[in-house]
Amino acid sequence: MEGNNTLKYDYLDYQGTHFAATDLTLFEKLHIDFWTPNSTNLQFQLISQGVGTFVNLPVSTEEWISVDIDLQDFVPPVDLSNVDGFLVEGNGTIYFDNWYFWKEPYGQGYDPTLSNLLIDGESVPGFSPNILHYDVDLPYGTSEVPTTTAISTDPQAGYVTNNATSLPGTTSVLVTSANGANTLSLYYSF
């Protein structure tokens, strides 16, 4: 719309999009902005392994609408750890903008996330606080279970490492927020 990159669905009946399975368990909301000149019905669905449930969006013509949908509105049947598509159903012409997943930031003492995860002193390739499982290739000839070090986002948060006992194996890290209210489990397999 007028110089802004938007996604336009003309004569909408239904439109689905499939993508690689994505873990959304660290998020709470889905934000969507949309505008329509003529739609009277609009629904949105997250999909996990071919199943989903629709959430009705409030429709008003000739104005931008912003909605934040609670991801729990899709559960069940959607498995938020394995979302692989979405479906939009409705009528008319719809312009979409600003789709993103988000959550309220942690308050002081409540943050159980990591700012880094190290294996034998090296950052896990592709580390992100939003990824909870990693497959790690150890250097050829590795014969001992690697040492794991975690760096919590909140320096007051703690963590416990449960190292694999042999190769191949899986090591887990349980992070607990400083106030003990929140925990987060991360895993890496090698």
Average pLDDT over residues 39-45: 94
- Higher per-residue pLDDT: 111 or 2: 111
Contacts for 123 with CB less than 8 Å, ≥ 6 apart: 116, 117
pLDDT at 103: 82
- Summarised one tens digit per residue, pLDDT across range 98-139 is 988 888 777 788 888 899 999 999 999 888 887 888 889 988
| Cβ neighbours of 112 (radius 10 Å) | 24
pLDDT at 125: 87
Average pLDDT over residues 26-39: 92
What is the token pair recorded at 92?
Answer: 């008319």
Average pLDDT over residues 87-96: 94
Check whether 3 has a pLDDT greater than 70.
no
Q: Are 156 and 110 in contact (CB under 8 A)?
A: no
Residue 28 — very low, low, confident or very high, per pLDDT cuts 50/70/90?
Answer: confident
Task: Give the domains, in start order, of the chain with CATH numbers.
Answer: 7-102 (2.60.120.430), 114-189 (no CATH)
Q: Are 31 and 99 in contact (CB under 8 A)?
A: yes
pLDDT at 43: 95
| Cβ neighbours of 57 (radius 10 Å) | 18
Residue 85 — very low, low, confident or very high, per pLDDT cuts 50/70/90?
Answer: very high
Q: What's the pTM?
A: 0.60
| Cβ neighbours of 7 (radius 10 Å) | 13
Sheet holding 83-90, edge to edge: 14-22, 83-90, 42-48, 51-56
Check whether 1 has a pLDDT greater than 60.
no
Check whether 62 has a pLDDT greater than 90.
yes
% of the chain exceeding 70 in pLDDT: 98
Residue 58 per-residue DSSP state:
P
pLDDT at 128: 82
Residue found by looking up tokens 């692989």 in the block:
84
| Cβ neighbours of 101 (radius 10 Å) | 18
SS3 content of the chain, % helix, strand, coil (to 5): 0, 45, 50
| Helix, strand counts (H, E) of the chain | 0, 15
- Summarised one tens digit per residue, pLDDT across range 144-180 is 999 999 999 999 999 999 999 999 999 999 999 999 8
